[in-house]
Amino acid sequence: MSTHDHYLILRDIFCALCGLRGAPLLHASSVDFEGRAVIFCGVSGTGKTTISRLLSARHQVINDEINWLQCSASGFTVVNQPFWRLKDTPEPSLPLASIYLLEQAETCEVRKLDTPLDAMGLLLCAPYGTEDPALGVRTAATMTLATAAPLKRLRFSLDSEEIDQTIRRDLSA
């Protein structure tokens, strides 16, 4: 069994345990943006790793694989899991600033989601299997996240300065 196989087994066990607790999980990248977590979601190939690497000169990457969120009365927190934690990562948990559904473009801009159906894109970033016994609980947790957390679309170019300034403007609005 390869190291990658072990990783997949651990990931699936972790996802199942979080799912049983009703904790949303996202296959996404995240960065520490001035003490708050910003999450980048999208299907494979949309640029999750690319955008976190582009921002890594200015912002600490929290995670580039599975992001676990917890909900409390004060909002959502992104929990930095010890076995996925990158070297020299920030605090074990950070308050969630925003979740961006990624779309590659020539220039950067943040768009509000037009309809509730747009939020369904978040489900595509949730690492669930159709045979999962906790599928209903996990889907409900992800949909709670989609309706309660700041969720927007980020069209982004490969210009790290432009990405940084676009997110900065959005978070300060």
What residue ranges define each of the domains in the chain, with the CATH number in brackets? 3-172 (3.40.50)
Number of neighbours of residue 10 by Cβ within 10 angstroms: 12
Mean residue pLDDT of the chain comes to: 81
Q: Over the Cα atoms of the chain, what is R_g?
A: 15
Q: What is the pLDDT of residues 52-89, one digit of tens each?
A: 999 999 999 988 888 888 887 888 888 876 655 555 65
Q: pTM for this one?
A: 0.83
Query: Is residue 11 predicted with pLDDT exceeding 70?
Result: no
| Burial annotation 12-39 (CB, 10 A radius, 16+ → b, else e) | eebbbebbeeebbbbbbbbbbbeeebbb
Q: What is the pLDDT of residues 143-158, one digit of tens each?
A: 777 777 889 999 999 9
List strand residue ranges (DSSP E) for the chain, in order: 25-33, 36-41, 60-63, 66-72, 75-79, 93-104, 109-112, 151-156
